[in-house]
Amino acid sequence: MLLATSVFALLRPAQPYAQVTELRGEVSESAILDDQQRKTRQLSIAQDQTAQAGATTQSTAPTPTYQPASPGAVQDDDAAPATGSIFDPPEATDDPFADAPVPVPPRRPSSATQGAADQDEAAETQAATATTAPTDDEDTAETDPINSRAVTIDSADRQQLDPGAERAEAIEGRDRRAEDDPFAATGIKLGSFVIRPTLEQGLKASSNADSSSEGKPALLSETTLRFNAISDWRENSATVDGYGTFLKTLSGDEVEEARGRVEGTLNVDFDNDLRAIAKLGYEAAPESASSPVVIEGTAEQPVRQTIDGSLAVEKDAGKMRFALTGAVEHDIYGDARLSTGGTLSQKDRDSTLYTATLRTGYEISPAITPFTEVEIGRRVYDLRVDSNGFERSSTRLGVRAGTELDLGEKLAGEFSAGWLREAIDDDRLPAISGATVNADLRWSPQRGTTIGLTGQTIVEGTTTANESGTILYSGRLTGEREIRANLIGNAALGIDWRDYIGSDGHDLTLSAEASLTWWLNRYAGLTTRARTEKQTSNIEGRDYTAHSIFVGVTLQP
The per-residue pLDDT for range 356-372, each reduced to its tens digit, is: 999 999 999 999 999 99
Least confident window among 41-45, 56-60, 224-228, 252-256: 56-60
pLDDT at position 131, please? 46
Dihedral pair phi/psi, residue 285, rounded to 5°: -165, 145
pLDDT at position 173, please? 56
Is residue 132 within a helix (H) or strand (E), and if so which, with residue range? helix 111-132
- The answer, yes or no, to whether residue 133 has pLDDT greater than 50, is no
Is residue 4 within a helix (H) or strand (E), and if so which, with residue range? helix 2-11
pLDDT tier at 392 (50, 70, 90 boundaries)?
Answer: very high
Least confident window among 3-7, 119-123, 198-202, 460-464: 119-123
pLDDT at position 303, please? 93
- The answer, yes or no, to whether residue 92 has pLDDT greater than 90, is no
**8-state DSSP, 365:** B
Give the span between the Cα atoms of 401 and 456, in whole angstroms: 14
pLDDT tier at 181 (50, 70, 90 boundaries)?
Answer: confident
- The answer, yes or no, to whether residue 231 has pLDDT greater than 70, is yes
pLDDT at position 510, please? 96
Of residues 248 and 148, more confidence is placed in: 248
Dihedral pair phi/psi, residue 160, rounded to 5°: -70, 135
- The answer, yes or no, to whether residue 39 has pLDDT greater than 60, is yes
pLDDT tier at 527 (50, 70, 90 boundaries)?
Answer: very high
Q: Where are the domains of the chain?
A: 199-208+258-555
Give the span between the Cα atoms of 39 and 199, in whole angstroms: 102
Least confident window among 27-31, 57-61, 489-493, 531-535: 57-61
pLDDT at position 26, please? 53
**8-state DSSP, 317:** E
pLDDT tier at 134 (50, 70, 90 boundaries)?
Answer: very low
Which residues touch 98 (CB under 8 Å, ≥6 apart)? 92
* Amino acid at the residue 287: E
pLDDT tier at 74 (50, 70, 90 boundaries)?
Answer: low
Q: What is the CATH number of domain 199-208+258-555?
A: 2.40.160
pLDDT at position 409, please? 84
Give the span between the Cα atoms of 13 and 297, in whole angstroms: 162
Q: Where are the beta strands (DSSP E) in 191-295?
A: 193-206, 218-231, 237-252, 256-270, 274-286
Give the 3-state secondary structure of residue 175: coil
Give the span between the Cα atoms of 341 and 298, in whole angstroms: 9
- The answer, yes or no, to whether residue 100 has pLDDT greater than 70, is no
Give the span between the Cα atoms of 306 and 352, in whole angstroms: 10
Of residues 66 and 417, more confidence is placed in: 417
Q: How far is CA 479 from the centre of its chain?
A: 22
- The answer, yes or no, to whether residue 62 has pLDDT greater than 60, is no
Dihedral pair phi/psi, residue 228, rounded to 5°: -140, 130
Least confident window among 123-127, 153-157, 243-247: 123-127
- Whether the CB-CB separation of 415 and 441 falls below 8 Å is answered with yes
CA pseudo-torsion sign 285, 332, 313, 455: negative
Least confident window among 216-230, 292-306, 511-525: 292-306
pLDDT tier at 40 (50, 70, 90 boundaries)?
Answer: confident
DSSP-assigned beta bridge partners for residue 256: 248
pLDDT tier at 541 (50, 70, 90 boundaries)?
Answer: confident
Give the 3-state secondary structure of residue 42: helix
Give the span between the Cα atoms of 82 and 294, in whole angstroms: 126
Of residues 136 and 345, more confidence is placed in: 345
Of residues 241 and 61, more confidence is placed in: 241
pLDDT at position 75, please? 53
Task: Give residue-wise pLDDT tens across range 262-293.
Answer: 999 999 999 888 999 999 999 999 998 778 88
What mean pLDDT do residues 17-33 have?
52
Give the span between the Cα atoms of 20 and 112, in whole angstroms: 33
DSSP-assigned beta bridge partners for residue 286: 303
Least confident window among 44-53, 107-116, 423-432: 107-116
* Amino acid at the residue 454: T
pLDDT at position 172, please? 57
Dihedral pair phi/psi, residue 141, rounded to 5°: -65, -35
Of the candidates 458, 459, 355, 455, the one whose C-alpha atom is nearest the C-alpha of residue 414 is 455
Task: Give residue-wise pLDDT tens across range 318-358.
Answer: 999 999 999 999 999 999 888 788 888 899 999 999 999 99
- The answer, yes or no, to whether residue 135 has pLDDT greater than 80, is no
pLDDT tier at 12 (50, 70, 90 boundaries)?
Answer: low
Least confident window among 20-24, 122-126, 439-443: 20-24
- The answer, yes or no, to whether residue 106 has pLDDT greater than 60, is no
Of the candidates 317, 309, 313, 321, the one whose C-alpha atom is nearest the C-alpha of residue 404 is 321
Of the candidates 309, 393, 305, 303, the one whose C-alpha atom is nearest the C-alpha of residue 348 is 393
Q: What is the mean pLDDT of the chain?
A: 81
pLDDT at position 526, please? 97
CA pseudo-torsion sign 161, 163, 168, 173: positive
CB atoms closer than 10 angstroms to residue 293: 19
pLDDT at position 170, please? 61
Q: How far is CA 248 from CA 202, 259, 290, in A?
A: 11, 12, 20
CB atoms closer than 10 angstroms to residue 510: 13
What mean pLDDT do residues 164-181 have?
62
Which residues touch 545 (CB under 8 Å, ≥6 apart)? 207, 208, 532, 533, 534, 535
Of residues 159 and 76, more confidence is placed in: 159
pLDDT at position 70, please? 55
pLDDT at position 368, please? 96
pLDDT tier at 79 (50, 70, 90 boundaries)?
Answer: very low
pLDDT at position 21, please? 43
pTM here?
0.68
pLDDT at position 549, please? 97
Of the candidates 400, 262, 285, 278, the one whose C-alpha atom is nearest the C-alpha of residue 334 is 285
Task: Give residue-wise pLDDT tens across range 294-322.
Answer: 787 777 889 999 999 999 999 999 999 99
pLDDT at position 36, please? 73
What mean pLDDT do residues 73-88 have?
50
